[in-house]
A = this chain, B = another copy of it.
Amino acid sequence: MPARRPILLNAFAMNCVGHINHGLWTHPRDRSDEYRHLDHWTDLARTLEDGLFDALFLADIVGVYDIYGGSIDLAARESIQLPVNDPVLLLPAMAAVTRRLGFAVTVNTAIEHPYSFARRLSTLDHLTGGRVGWNIVTGYLDSAARAVGREAMAEHDSRYDRADDYLDFLYKLWEGSWEDGAVLRDKAARRFADPARIHEIRHEGPYYRGQGYHLAEPSPQRTPVLFQAGSSGRGQRFAARHAEGVFINARDPVAAARTARSLREAVVAAGRRPEDIRIFVGVSVVTGATDAEAQEKLADYVAHASPEAGMAHFSAGSGIDLAPLGLDDEIVTGPTNAIQSTTAAAQAARLTKRRLLGDLALGGRYPLIVGSGATVAAEMRRWRDEGEIDGFNLTRTVVPECWRDFVRFVVPALQERGLYKTAYGEGTLRRRLFGEGDRLPDRHAGAQAWRG
């Protein structure tokens, strides 16, 4: 068996109270409602860096979950990603108290024009010293479209066409506007930068156009590490061209391996190498000193969870109002603009509301790994090997103890088995994830796009 790279680890969180495992905010020890305070996040960042996490992966949603029961009632009562604050603003404070922890932050391409967004991410890459990733999302909620004065969200595939165009504009700004030698910082010669090496870029795309100089000088990574989570056919094509990290959902390692192979084939078809993407599967871990302690903890958590809130979240993702369905009705749907992979998987599995509620015992539907550090480490190895993945996005349960438990019990067990690093590598997030340079490799579309 070939030597495998160490398992990669992202913590998966969100600037809100209820993220994935719904209802756990009611647990007496849970402090996720302190999301409004900087200390909550700087403490988290320190904990994750103690555990040598590769990155904190921050989800986001613009819009509200108003499908279930046709209202926001349950979303408000159980704080199902409502309220939800801007995730981007957490990074500077967390970067200031850490040195190596990376950040992958979700931003919807529909929020602002690429010209100002390019500067926003370049600024983050500067301030973090090259530790920024961007999780590219295109949005799927009609409530978000109405909020900005449109009738409904654009059709699913066209959102990716628009995002392709958005990325092409960004690549020109990030990669093409300032040459590497443009900034001189020469006080004696009074030459801060050489104007001959700063280029106005022009973009005339189907959705975006403009011409201008990038406002930021080159940052350590130029283009941030690009993450994406699309699993539909169109989403996979988008990932094959752009993504360096892909976040997948899978019920078991067999399903993970199917998605991972399909993704790597698409990446190769796009002129890249199979190892040019790192694949992360989402899981929930509950751990303790022993298997028994972990099982007890799980039972305590489950007693505070809200499977109904999980169902409301599923309704938003699938576009199907599950409130009026009977427990044994199959969950079926016609064409929808919502998350394609969610609805396809539900139909393929002939999912009923009863089975869905069973899956949602902890309030979320991510595969659950429960046990001592040794048990969890063994199961993570199995996922990695059988699932053909590179790492995990770990959902939060009861905050912050879930992170501290993982660092205390699982990290040493992974390290003892040679499955996890024992110190951070040097350099930018991209360099540490791929072991090559700080910048996009030449074979990535973004490294070439601006020359076009």
Query: Which chain A residues have a beta carbon within 8 Å of chain B's beta carbons?
Result: 15, 17-18, 23, 25-28, 33, 36-38, 42, 62-64, 71-73, 75-79, 82-86, 88-93, 95-97, 111-113, 115-116, 119-120, 122-124, 126-127, 129, 143-144, 146-149, 178, 182-183, 185, 187-188, 190-195, 198, 208-213, 215-217, 219, 306
Contacts and interface: CB of A to CB of B under 8 A. Distances in A.
B92 A89 contact: yes
A190 B62 contact: no
B192 A76 contact: yes
- Count of identical protomers in the assembly: 2
A72 B116 contact: no
B93 A127 contact: yes
Given A192-B25, A195-B72, A212 B64 contact: yes
A307 to B, nearest CB: 13
Nearest to A95: B38
Count chain B CB atoms within 10 A of each CB in A73, A126, A143, A178 and give the residue with the most: A126
A116 B123 contact: no
Contact of A215 (B82, B124, B213): B82
A76 B193 contact: yes
B79 A124 contact: no
Contacts of A149: 208-210
5 A-B pairs with the lowest CB-CB distances in the bound complex, closest first: A147-B212, A79-B192, A76-B195, A149-B209, A36-B126
A110 to B, nearest CB: 9
Given A85-B126, A149-B208, A198-B76, A62 B215 contact: yes
A306 B28 contact: no
A111 B117 CA distance: 9
Contacts of A17: 192
Nearest to A209: B149
A349 B78 CA distance: 63
A26 B116 contact: no
27 contacts: A23-B190, A25-B192, A36-B126, A36-B127, A62-B215, A64-B212, A72-B213, A73-B195, A76-B195, A77-B194, A79-B192, A79-B193, A82-B213, A82-B215, A83-B183, A83-B193, A84-B215, A85-B119, A89-B91, A89-B120, A89-B123, A92-B93, A93-B95, A111-B112, A147-B211, A149-B208, A190-B306
A115 B143 CA distance: 12
A320 B36 CA distance: 46
Contacts of A182: 76
A195 B93 contact: no
Nearest to A202: B146
A258 B42 CA distance: 47
A252 to B, nearest CB: 32
A329 B18 CA distance: 66
Contacts of A73: 195
Contacts of A120: 86, 88-89
Contacts of A215: 62, 64, 82-85
Given A75-B195, A85-B216, 17 more contacts: A25-B192, A38-B95, A42-B96, A64-B212, A72-B195, A72-B213, A76-B192, A76-B195, A77-B191, A77-B195, A83-B215, A86-B119, A89-B92, A93-B127, A112-B116, A115-B148, A146-B210
